[in-house]
Amino acid sequence: QEIGAQKDLEGKKILVTAGPTREAIDPVRYITNHSTGKMGYAVAKAAALRGADVTLVTGKTDTPKPRFVKLIEIQSAADMFEAVTAAAAEQDIIIKAAAVADYRPKSVGTEKTKKTEGDMAIELERTDDILKWLGAHRREGQFLCGFSMETQNMLENSRVKLDKKNIDMIVANNLKVEGAGFGTDTNVVTIITRERNLELEKMTKEEVADRLLDEILAVSADK
Ligand code: CTP
């Protein structure tokens, strides 16, 4: 497969984000999520095998790193925002598979927080929406793809995101479907574009990656 891959992305610059973000509470604690980065890594690998010049911006994960990509390792949503926006202008395609925190602790302690007898609360503030920034600053012809995880009203909620974030494609998965979502080697997704909903059966994340790159090429060719 690695040798036989069709080089249909030769000459394209593709940025992929993957994995979770970590939002510090104090020097020893952080808030994160269950993302393993597997889906985004599969996309980065498939794109590289198909000849693209790939940059992978990734949060901390144990998933083996794909080879033949430019790797940028980050921790927080703010780090990812910086890395992605700095590299965005030169990209032909940006695929945002990362599970970016929507909120971070409002103040980060410089010392370890000590426990007290009573309850405690952590005040959170919004992070910047990277995909929304990309949609607002994109250059002519740049293709933007986001991911969306839903537990209800998946298609409706995801289609709203296409418009709100001014992007071309959303890969939606329903977390409640078996074989979809975090940590699994398979996924069950619907690829949503302005033109159509492409519902894919359960397949490996590698297969999903190739199908989504196929769809990006198909939609771009129609424009
Ligand atoms: N995303 C981003 N920057 C953020 C948050 C999310 O770029 N600060 C991107 C993700 O990488 C993903 C997409 O936006 O591609 C997910 O959209 P989002 O609206 O954040 O999804 P949810 O968090 O599921 O939305 P909601 O909380 O409204 O359900």
Which amino acid belongs to residue 210?
Answer: D
Tens digit of each residue's pLDDT, the chain (223 residues): 456 678 999 999 999 999 999 999 999 999 999 999 999 999 999 999 999 999 999 999 999 999 999 999 999 999 999 999 999 999 999 999 999 999 999 999 899 999 999 999 999 999 999 999 999 999 999 999 999 988 888 889 999 999 999 999 999 988 888 888 888 899 999 999 998 999 999 999 999 999 999 999 999 887 7
Closest residue by Cα to atom 4, ligand 1, is 129
**Ligand 1 pocket check for 149: Cβ under 6 Å:** yes
Active site residue 166: no
The encoded tokens of residue 70 equal: 């430019």
For atom 8 of ligand 1, which residue has the closest CA? 129
The whole-model pTM stands at 0.95
Domains of the chain, earliest start first: 13-106+125-222 (3.40.50.10300)
CA-to-CA separations, 118 to 72, 114, 115, 121, in angstroms, rounded: 41, 12, 8, 10
153 phi-psi bin (left φ>0, alpha ψ -120 to 50, beta other): left
Measured in angstroms, how far is the CA atom of residue 114 from the centroid of ligand 1?
33
Considering only CA atoms, which residue is closest to atom 23 of ligand 1? Answer: 102
Mutate to test the pocket of ligand 1, among 16, 35, 76, 102 (most ligand atoms within 8 A of CB): 102
Residue pair 20/63 in contact (Cβ under 8 Å)? The answer is no
Q: Name every residue whose Cβ is closer than 8 Å to that of residue 114 and which is 6 or more positions away in sequence.
A: none
Which residue is closest in CA terms to ligand 1's atom 22?
Answer: 148
Please identify which of the residues 33, 166, 173, 174 carries the catalytic annotation: 33
Buried-state track 126-151, b at ≥16 Cβ within 10 A, e below 16 = ebebbbeebbeebeeebbbbbbbbbe
Ligand 1 mean position to 81 CA, how many Å? 13
Measured CA to CA, the distance from residue 16 to residue 69 in angstroms comes to: 10
